[in-house]
Copies of this chain bind each other. A is one copy, B any other.
Amino acid sequence: MTPDPALDLVLQRLIDVPRELVWEVWTKPEHVSKWFTPAPWTVTDCEIDLRPGGIFRTTMRSPEGLEFPNVGCYLEVVPYERLVFTDALLPGYRPSANPFMTAIVTIEARGLQTLYTATALHRDEEARKRHEEMGFHQGWGTALDQLVAYAKQL
């Protein structure tokens, strides 16, 4: 799929972590909770059922101590290559009450490095703009910095 600049947001970067390790830290709850939210936000809970239709749930805690649960559903799980999930569907593919985005994460080996591409798909320009204003580029960029730092010390 080619991203649509009006509707989609893309973060792409060559990172200094092998592809297999990127996959690991994206797909196991004990890892996700270590890097997924830009500090000082934290992940207090994470549930992963890694198959199409399976749950991907995180609870994010703000610096003030407020908790924000996010529940979504995996759509594609291609080990070491591609992970797709959405909050437009709940586990088991039930439509959700507050759909916002679908995320596509692709990873490609580049020697010992990895070409990392995260794409957020939105239903309209308004949702894309809102996500941009919420800080997509900085937020997902900082989370990726944290992923790299965390993975390197594993």
Q: Nearest B residue to A52 by beta-carbon distance? A: B76
Q: Considering the complex, give the chain B residue whose CB is closest to the CB of A86.
A: B93
A: number of interface residues (CB 8 Å):
27
- The closest CB in chain B to the CB of A103 belongs to B93
The interface residues of chain B lying within 8 Å CB-to-CB of A101 are 95
Q: Given A84-B93, A86-B93, A97-B123, output 18 extra A-B contacts at Cβ < 8 Å.
A: A1-B53, A52-B75, A53-B75, A53-B76, A53-B84, A75-B89, A86-B95, A88-B89, A88-B95, A89-B89, A89-B102, A94-B102, A94-B122, A95-B99, A95-B102, A95-B121, A95-B122, A97-B124
Please determine whether A88 and B92 come into contact, CB atoms closer than 8 angstroms: no
Which chain B positions have C-beta within 8 A of A93? 75, 84, 86, 102, 104, 121
Q: Is A96 an interface residue (CB 8 A)?
A: yes
Counting every copy of the chain, the complex holds 2
Q: Which residues on B sit within 8 Å (CB–CB) of A75?
A: 52-53, 75, 89, 93
